A and B are shown apart, each in its own frame.
Chain A
């Protein structure tokens, strides 16, 4: 019964992924296709164009997006998890609903808001927070803002899922013992929902690294990301080996954190199991702390 789906995914997912890696070791044919012979040329010249700068920018914008999303998601998830069951479902639905809508449309909505004649510019001008010639669009700041907007639901949902299972009486206990709310939040709540935070980090970081529409529509000439470069090499330049090499780098940037996290979680599970199997495990840990 697994045959149809496994077969389909092998043909349309596994083989294509391997092909990307393989094509980066081929030359580019003059007609825009893929050359027959194998070569290391693409990888040899990988640091010659401005790729390192673009990769670096992609990484820091993705890291900043992830940080911003997790920071906003923590209080949101906390607030939702403390609601009544009925309200929790409504809130989770409201947070996820924009995710299902067209990505291009949502980014376009921001382009409209940030437009020199747009709503936000008018608002900021009337509040005295912007100069008439302040440029809100076409820079790294705009990419960051729209990225946080687009990926925020991915951060809220896993943290909320973890917070829902959290035992909130622990927080009350900490406060009864004299901890201030923020200290209790940091020392008791955060460690309790650690896994949710880790998934949220991955769920935001991965699509940010692969971002194409956001930098294309709200970014400027000096804020190109790897996604834009892959597009440029694929279509206007028609240099498929270069596009493949960049895609391989992007895949690497995505798979390495994914693998590391999977490995760390497995290790933690094993240690936890060992600790629980040990008769004096809890006591020893208490003594060490």
Chain B
């Protein structure tokens, strides 16, 4: 049957549409021209200016601290949540799933303002700690979903085998289930790290004085700084960082899981 080419053409145009802004932005970070309308020659001077900006480094360190903290906390909370959701199917777990799922769909600004109001109501000053609490909250939903997907492929008879061989619940969890889940947890953790390092709206609402992160810094530069090309450079650095993290996360997600039936065969590959 002859296939209609129309859908493929639309797909090609959509891919151009999705990547054009990113490509132009990246190209312009090496462009001598200030506004990037035309190509005036290759330069690294904007990157030089970026490297000498102390505030950018300060924001970068803050972002790293928060992303690391939020990743560790959300991995712990998200993994326990996924294990609970996988093991039990009760009314409580339905509510639990709803609680995990809703933060994924509601607009970020609602989560931002509700957390700000909560911190204000209990008299907590905003700063790095409030950003950390907020990031942990939205990251854990993503970790839970990633680990849950991994658990769906998990062969529960492996646990049974470990128990039959005399391991108690704790040992079989630590020695059998956790190592097999680890790629899923790492994959979820890398996504959490990515989301935390890139988050703007929620951070914007719960940040305090002196707790600027990279996205907040970019935003304030867009609003107030005339150095357009330096913002291009910082944006390019952030895009590259995200691409690397997402690729790493994918690699872990596709890591093969052994199955009990043909464990030996797959075990060699894994």
Contacts and interface: CB of A to CB of B under 8 A. Distances in A.
Given A79-B8, A115-B35, A101 B92 contact: no
A1 B134 contact: no
Contact of A210 (B88, B96, B110, B144): B110
B interface residue count range (under 10 / 10 to 19 / 20 to 34 / 35 or more): 35 or more
A17 B78 CA distance: 21
A119 B110 contact: no
A4 B76 contact: yes
Interface string A1-39: 110111011101111110110010000000001100000
A139 interface: no
B120 A34 contact: yes
B32 interface: no
B106 A100 contact: no
Contacts of B37: 115, 117-119, 121-122
A111 to B, nearest CB: 7
A75 B99 CA distance: 34
Contact of A16 (B11, B88, B115): B115
A113 B232 CA distance: 12
B160 to A, nearest CB: 19
A108 interface: yes
B109 interface: yes
A101 B243 contact: yes
Contact of A149 (B4, B17, B134, B191): B17
Q: Taking chain A's interface residues, is the majority helix, strand, or loop, or is none over half, making it mixed?
A: helix
6 nearest interchain CB pairs? Answer: A210-B107, A117-B35, A16-B114, A109-B21, A5-B81, A2-B84
Contacts of B6: 75
A interface residue count range (under 10 / 10 to 19 / 20 to 34 / 35 or more): 35 or more
Given A2-B81, A76-B11, A16 B107 contact: no
Contacts of B22: 98, 101, 106, 109
Contact of B110 (A113, A117, A250): A250
A51 B182 CA distance: 49
B7 interface: yes
Interface stretch (B52-60, B64-72, B197-205): B197-205
Given A5-B140, A6-B96, A75-B6, A149 B21 contact: yes
Nearest to A210: B107
B242 interface: yes
Contact of B10 (A75, A95, A234, A250): A75
A152 B117 CA distance: 32
Contacts of A234: 113, 116, 205
Interface stretch (A239-247, A264-272, A280-288): A239-247
B15 to A, nearest CB: 6
A129 B134 CA distance: 46
Most buried by A among B18, B84, B232: B18
B8 to A, nearest CB: 5
Contacts of B120: 33-34, 240
Nearest to A246: B113
Interface stretch (B149-157, B215-223, B257-265): B215-223
A233 to B, nearest CB: 9
